[in-house]
Amino acid sequence: MKRRDFLRASAAAPLLAALPDELRAQAMLATPQAAWDSGQLRHLLPTVSDREILIKASFRKPLTKPPTLHLDAHKVTGTMTDTAGEFWQFHANNLEPGRTYQLSLTGAGGPRLCAPWTLATFPDPSSTPKSLRVLFYTCAGGHEGLAYLPVTTRNRLLRRALSFKPDAAVANGDHVYWDLRSPLTSKRTGGSEKARELIRGTFERSSAALGTDNEALLKRAAGPQIEPVYGTDFRSTPTFFIQDDHDYYDNDDAYDEIVTFPPDAFMTQMARATQSLWYPEFLPDATRPTGLAGSSLNGRAQAVSESFGTLRYGRLAEVLLYTVRRTMTMAGPSAVFLDDLTEDWLKRRMAAPDLAHVVNAPSNPPGWTAGKWGEWYPDVLGRDGKLTLEVKKPYWQDGWLRQHDRLMVAMSEMKGRVPLAVSGDLHATGIGRIQRTGNHDLSANPVVSVLSGPVGTWPGGWPSGIRKIGAQPPLNLKVDEEVKPIENHGFTLADFTNDKIVLRFFKWDRNAQALEAIDTLEPFHTSELKRPG
């Protein structure tokens, strides 16, 4: 915090304490973020729909009795999500659409656990809001003890993004890096001696993720990658977290000795446990089937969905949020990343007539490849250092590309909409238009594919480092690159209005720019996408 901001906040603190709760919450919003009193909270991440709010929180000390969330006149008793009382969630329903609620947290007996704050529900699905601003980014994870970008720098990037006041944030994959078995990446992450020293132990794959010795190790491995990156800065910004390969505690790799995906039971447990403790699942949506993977437990529909979600903002926009890791198969020509039910859901939503914009947000990026195994594409790095199709990519399944083509065609065929996909995974920022995939001509309405930009990444973690090649268009696609993938840290802001989408791209080069430059980052590129017709 700058000195003048510190003095201003210090002077304001006694006055704020004397205000009634609601006025104090409003005043807190007008002060610098660092002035907000997080009290006993280590972190807090909310998500919302039009009628529900879900909050994940961790506390500096274990709570022996459930805390209470107050939303105006509503009260929600916290549910413990770990076994020690450090982690709690709060799920409120039957709320009013498009309303800003005053929130506060109290412990047993009534003591305040943090300062009050505000959070708004989304507009009613039948309403017609004029605008929506969404923050997109990827790859914010990484333990600082393993040489990833300092958490204070990642937090600084996110604070700059929040200064533009997005209505929601989509964090697309790789919130955690702690690969345990990948021959390519585990030796410098979760399988390294340094990692074992950091968490003071080794995960036991034959034990459950929570309620065993694994729980303490999980908190030491994942906590430092999430809690200081977000803190409580997103308390008034709904968040949507999509999981990708590293969130299952491994890299997507395939060798004769091991094929890391589909995820085994331990990987799925670890992904679920991390989500349960630190970031919100997806809230229900009447248009999303309750039978999708991760939406039911013991044959009963859950109140939330783990893998497939929706950011619905009235009739203005719907962002389809999906991971390709949970349901991927290895069945050759019929292999898929997304099971039939999920693919059908995506297609139905893209064909829905009552929305101005439908955006796909897959964890796996369309339009580019770095030659790695778990992609949509068969391209592999040849001995000459170039991508080739002449060498068969080991264990790659051609059914994945067939599903890719079906989805790209469905996007392109949307009437009166921009077929936009904003994805994660690749550590880069870029935008291109897919004119053709295989024999499918998309030129009448090209799919606009965006690489949102990574908030994290260790110095050797860029595609050109670990993969020896930067992200490039696959050989069986025709892609017009408006911005070729740039390997810098950054994020993307998308502004939706009825007639267009405006994308603003931000980047920061740690090798050429000072830390202070983050605080005044402006877009290096802007794209305006007008609705066809």
10-residue mean pLDDT profile of the chain (533 residues): values are 40 40 36 75 98 98 97 95 98 97 95 97 98 98 96 98 98 98 95 97 98 98 98 98 98 96 97 98 96 87 93 98 97 98 98 96 96 95 92 96 98 97 94 98 98 92 80 97 97 98 97 97 98 90
Are 446 and 482 spatial neighbours (Cβ–Cβ below 8 Å)? no
Amino acid identity for residue 270 in this structure: M
Are 505 and 490 spatial neighbours (Cβ–Cβ below 8 Å)? yes
Query: Could you give the C-alpha distances from 203 to 107, 175, 249, in angstroms and in order?
Result: 33, 19, 11
Q: CA-based diameter of the chain, in Å?
A: 72
∠ CA 295-300-303 to the nearest 5 degrees? Answer: 50
Identify which of 235, 168, 50 has the alpha carbon closest to the alpha carbon of residue 495.
Answer: 168
Distance, CA of 500 to CA of 511 (rounded, Å): 35
Distance, CA of 439 to CA of 420 (rounded, Å): 20
- Beta strands (DSSP E) in 158-245 are 168-172, 239-242
Identify which of 475, 378, 485 has the alpha carbon closest to the alpha carbon of residue 430.
Answer: 485
DSSP-derived 3-state class of residue 450: strand
Catalogue all structural domains in the chain, each as residue range(s) with its CATH number: 1-35 (no CATH), 36-120 (2.60.40.10), 132-530 (3.60.21.10)
Are 235 and 39 spatial neighbours (Cβ–Cβ below 8 Å)? no
Compute the chain's Rg from CA coordinates.
22
C-alpha 105, offset from chain centre: 25
Identify which of 219, 223, 474, 259 has the alpha carbon closest to the alpha carbon of residue 371.
Answer: 474
Q: Print the SS3 string covering 143-169.
A: CHHHCCCCHHHHHHHHHHHHCCCCCEE
Distance, CA of 503 to CA of 133 (rounded, Å): 10
Spatial strand order in the sheet of 53-59: 41-48, 53-59, 87-92, 79-80
Exposed, middle or buried, 330 (CB in 10 Å: 0-12/13-18/19+)? middle
Residue with tokens 């870029």: 430
Pairing of strands 79-80, 87-92: antiparallel
Beta-carbon contacts of 236 under 8 Å, excluding residues fewer than 6 positions away, are 29, 46, 117, 118, 119, 120
Residue with tokens 């998500």: 47
Give the model's pLDDT for residue 34.
Answer: 55
How many other C-beta atoms can be found within 10 angstroms of the C-beta atom of residue 29? Answer: 11
Are 238 and 161 spatial neighbours (Cβ–Cβ below 8 Å)? no
Residue with tokens 């893998």: 307
Identify which of 243, 360, 272 has the alpha carbon closest to the alpha carbon of residue 311.
Answer: 360
∠ CA 172-388-444 to the nearest 5 degrees? Answer: 60
Q: How long a stretch of residues is the chain?
A: 533
Report if pTM > 0.85. Answer: yes
Tokens of 448: 């606009």
Distance, CA of 78 to CA of 445 (rounded, Å): 47
Give the model's pLDDT for residue 445.
Answer: 98
Distance, CA of 375 to CA of 396 (rounded, Å): 8
Query: Could you give the C-alpha distances from 165 to 55, 133, 141, 233, 521, in angstroms and in order?
Result: 19, 8, 23, 12, 14
Distance, CA of 474 to CA of 368 (rounded, Å): 6
Query: Could you give the C-alpha distances from 48 to 51, 134, 303, in angstroms and in order?
Result: 8, 14, 13
